[in-house]
Amino acid sequence: MIDETLNNDNIDGAINSRISAAVNDINESNEMSLDDFQILINKLTNHDPEQRLQSLSFFDDFLQQDCLPPPIFIQLHNYILMAVTQPNPPEVNNYLLSIIGSISQFFDESLDFTSLVQYVNQFLSTPDAPSTEQALEVLALLASEQSGAAKVIIQFMSQLLQNFLNSDQADNVLNVASGITTHKEYLREMLPYLNTFLELTPQIHGLTLDVMFSILSHFTKSSEGLDQIKNYSLIGSIFENSQESPEIFHSALNLLIHISNQVSNPMKFYESAGVLNFFDISLKSHNEEIIITGLKLCLSISTNPAGISFLFQSGLLNVLFDLTDGTFSITSASIQVLCNVLCEGPTELIPEFLKSNFVDLILTFILSSPQDSQILMLKAIQTIVLFLPEDDLRELVGSTELMDILWQIAEENSETTVALIATFISDKLAPLTD
């Protein structure tokens, strides 16, 4: 009997705890009792095929929207592992495949996934077969949720790409690749396929392109993958279709961020990739996620002389000032970029910041900001104090709450970097308050 496997040593106790957490908020109006579930579990080994199909149909439907109680799930888990190792009629296989997809995240992590993956692979036939699409979807779930399954699926990756990459199943087979590449430990084994992905990117569109950008972003987590992407001779071509939709554009921006975070000169990379127009497009978007990601692009070049020059000459500095009137997240990110530009850029830019009341803006946010942001804002004020003529400084001190806020910061953060910078600035300005 299946219920005799409750104490099976092959089932990690972690499964029980994960399922328990998942069913904590099962709908209280559910009238199914454990006995009801157990009856259905017992039917799985019934000699009557109709009884078995009815039970599988129930569990398939139930798992689409809910989680089973742990004792029942463990028995179903055991049954699935047994069933995939033996011949089954087509109608049973259809239910098994669907159930495997539904419970992919709950399989015991120490399981040898070889039999399970081989079972799913048998449904891969022609690209237009319904079973092929479902099997690829299940493989993608297993690859993403289970490191052990991803390790097995890699062995079939070449065959999957050869059979389905140039078909209507391209997005599904790329989802499998995306699932595998979420596991950093397997990126080296996936490297042989990276050039294929890069060459394919300019030729694809829509959801498939969105998935591809995710795959490439995963590859940037390895030094070999990053080098291969950034040095790709046609790097600009992979972004040619990236503006098809806000979702795809956002994925492209994220890929650029992943790369820029790991290269020594992001500005040089953006130029070689031909994406300098992405700055203007992203900052002027009506999509907040895209704006914030665009601000991350700006942040990556905000301490680079060539990057600062680009922001100023392209007029993006004014756009950044305008964005400080946006939502809290947009305003905070804009201030961070502008502080960097002010600290690292030429002193000739200081009048632009004063004209835009940047000091008043900093004073509005500085007390409620985390300490690392306070340090950056204080360094921006310090830059102004060090390079602004005395008459202009006197006017600044007289027309703002600057001194009061500096004293408050120093008092509330004694013997910290924040306090030291605030004290230095206030001491510098003190003679001008007489």
Three-state DSSP string of 39-57: HHHHHCCCCCHHHHHHHHH
DSSP string, 81-110: HHHTTS---HHHHHHHHHHHHHTGGGS-TT
Angle, alpha carbons 131-159-255 (nearest 5°):
95
Which of 208, 183, 186 lies closest to 197 in space, CA to CA?
208
Full-model pTM: 0.84
**Whole-angstrom distance, CA of residue 200 vs CA of residue 213:** 11
pLDDT at 434: 67
Token digits for 434?
A: 């007489």
Enumerate long-range contacts of 54-58, CB under 8 Å, 24 or more apart.
Answer: 56/92, 56/95, 56/96, 56/99, 57/95
pLDDT at 30: 54
**Whole-angstrom distance, CA of residue 40 vs CA of residue 267:** 62
Q: Which residues of the chain have pLDDT under 50?
A: 1-12, 15-16, 18-29
The identity of residue 172, as a single letter, is N
Which of 125, 112, 39, 43 lies closest to 81 in space, CA to CA?
112
Enumerate long-range contacts of 408-417, CB under 8 Å, 24 or more apart.
Answer: 408/367, 409/366, 409/367, 409/374, 409/378, 413/371, 413/374, 416/371, 417/371, 417/375
pLDDT at 199: 96
pLDDT at 128: 84
pLDDT at 47: 84
Summarised one tens digit per residue, pLDDT across range 36-55 is: 999 999 999 888 889 999 99
pLDDT at 2: 40
Contact 95, 60 (CB under 8 A): yes
pLDDT at 129: 83
Share above pLDDT 90 across residues of the chain, in percent, rounded to a whole number = 81
pLDDT at 433: 81
